[in-house]
Structure 1
């Protein structure tokens, strides 16, 4: 296996890039999206990088939760941490298959392998007291009241479109399987890890880990993973080619570079929304400040050019 001459590259792929809406997308649609992503990812590997792929799971976990709701009278619902692990496994399977097929087509002897990853969070994280991450399907007011009273869910109105469940989204502190991921990389594998931000775990006084019902932002988890395994570059893929100021307005301005201090100033001013670009900017800043060589935000089609400095937004200290 090729051990990768350029260094370690962590690539964070958004869940929407794999399936915009799994409730309407067929498996064939999802497989086609994953195959497209695989072509770009294998191109990066073929250029001499040791690649770790992380991925989102927002659309997929939403679909699984909806399945839980519809089947609740027949099959006991799964807890949120279990759903996170399940989507890690299913998306990992799709990515693993697509990557290995693409590697074979190109005559590469690298093998892709998926690791269901646990991520430590702090039991005392304030996020547990202020659930804010919307998940699952929209509900009517009647359904929302039932969810509050009978299921114990935290439910909020979402932009006048209905009601949604909200859960805690604590900060990731460490990747439990970081040593495994690094060992697999060193052995020449292309690794898929920390899917959906990983399964959130808290450590008890006895040192044992237990899953908690929460979700971790996958970009923040990717930054922690990248630092934990000594990655050189964190490449965050999204739906736009660069980070922008005034996004979607007549004054929109694309940013080819962004230093950490300026990025945080814009972030605190609300320039980068919490539900979209905000965590990506925060993750890029976190990784570069922790000693990472480069962090870049761009779209899937620009991934190769971004690594060559010809596309995307590059974050500098």
Structure 2
């Protein structure tokens, strides 16, 4: 019988920037090199744990949208279709690199539909950045040409799209069946394919990109995962990020971490996803860096969000 603190089933959420880093040239060769680094870390975990992988797709789906726009009207290639394309593309690269390291394991990439609410206020307030970064002049030109919404991203600008909250993962039973049978599954990539009910009993895709960490939290809960890990490009969650004296948090409760103010386009959704998982399952969510993944599993790195955290501790 599994002990209370034993980690057996792990859901890992990779940021889209783990596959295409800021400033990288956006091509398959660069993605493959980055995925190889990701697979080095993930394969070590997969040797001892059941592993489910989800990932971002912001840079990739934005590039696909830009390519599609050059061939015709953007409406000809809606974001749900492009999201499905990015799931297949990224899943293929992850499967191949994982298979090169663990050739005796079974793998599957599953196109994953995720239900959203057509009344979600996110549709009136696009906030999810996708695609490459641009100068303000380039972004203004593209916004004018294609009708995009744009927003600042540090010193650059990016296209932003609606990011509604996920309600349900349609394929969750299929994913669970695969994991129960020893398959390493790549699923709900890019937050899954956004869909909604358009009439009684019928679903259709929708022009949006769901936050992959919020879907990852829903996925981990639906699979009864022992730990949900959100990997990013920093070692954990910092109080007073960007200010003098910023300190990395070691362990904290959902209530305590929500007292801090985090950027809505970056750390904010990660923190909320971690809180949701901890509250829904009474298990631990961790936010940390890819290179620390083994230590995260062992409780020696990353910011741990748990209902059972006492006073907040720091590194």
**TM-score, scaled relative to structure 2:** 0.88
Tell me how large the CA RMSD over aligned residues is: 2.2
The answer to whether residue 84 in structure 2 is matched with residue 94 in structure 1 is no
The answer to whether residue 188 in structure 2 is matched with residue 194 in structure 1 is yes
Q: In the alignment, which residue of structure 2 is the partner of 1:37?
A: 38
Indicate conservation of the 8 Å contact 1:231/1:292, yes or no.
Answer: no
Q: In the alignment, which residue of structure 2 is the partner of 1:306?
A: 296
Indicate conservation of the 8 Å contact 1:6/1:50, yes or no.
Answer: no
Q: Cα distance 1:292–1:52, how it changes in 2: closer, same or farther (>3 A)?
A: farther
Listed one character per residue, the Cα deviations across residues 168-201 of structure 1 (whole Å, up to 9, x for unaligned) are 1100011111001000001110000110000011
In structure 1, runs of 5+ residues without a counterpart are none
Which of the residues 302, 306, 312 maps onto 1:316? Answer: 306
The answer to whether residue 14 in structure 2 is matched with residue 7 in structure 1 is no
Q: Give, in whole Å, the separation in 2 of the partners of 1:168 and 1:186.
A: 34
Q: Cα distance 1:142–1:99, how it changes in 2: closer, same or farther (>3 A)?
A: closer
Q: In the alignment, which residue of structure 1 is the partner of 2:52?
A: 52
In structure 2, runs of 5+ residues without a counterpart are 1-5, 308-315
**Cα displacement (A) at 1:79:** 1.0
The answer to whether residue 139 in structure 2 is matched with residue 125 in structure 1 is no
Q: Give, in whole Å, the separation in 2 of the partners of 1:146 and 1:35.
A: 37
Q: Cα distance 1:113–1:282, how it changes in 2: closer, same or farther (>3 A)?
A: same
Indicate conservation of the 8 Å contact 2:115/2:194, yes or no.
Answer: yes
Which of the residues 227, 235, 246 maps onto 1:241? Answer: 235
Q: Give, in whole Å, the separation in 2 of the partners of 1:70 and 1:22.
A: 22
Q: Give, in whole Å, the separation in 2 of the partners of 1:142 and 1:248.
A: 31
Q: In the alignment, which residue of structure 1 is the partner of 2:165?
A: 171
Q: Give, in whole Å, the separation in 2 of the partners of 1:118 and 1:156.
A: 26
What is the DSSP-based 3-state SS (H/G/I as helix, E as strand, rest coil) of the residue aligned with 1:158? strand
Aligned residues: 298
Q: Give, in whole Å, the separation in 1 of the partners of 2:151 and 2:36.
A: 36
Indicate conservation of the 8 Å contact 1:141/1:163, yes or no.
Answer: no
Q: Give, in whole Å, the separation in 1 of the partners of 2:18 and 2:153.
A: 24
Q: Give, in whole Å, the separation in 2 of the partners of 1:143 and 1:287.
A: 38
Q: Give, in whole Å, the separation in 2 of the partners of 1:192 and 1:136.
A: 22
What is the DSSP-based 3-state SS (H/G/I as helix, E as strand, rest coil) of the residue aligned with 1:265? coil
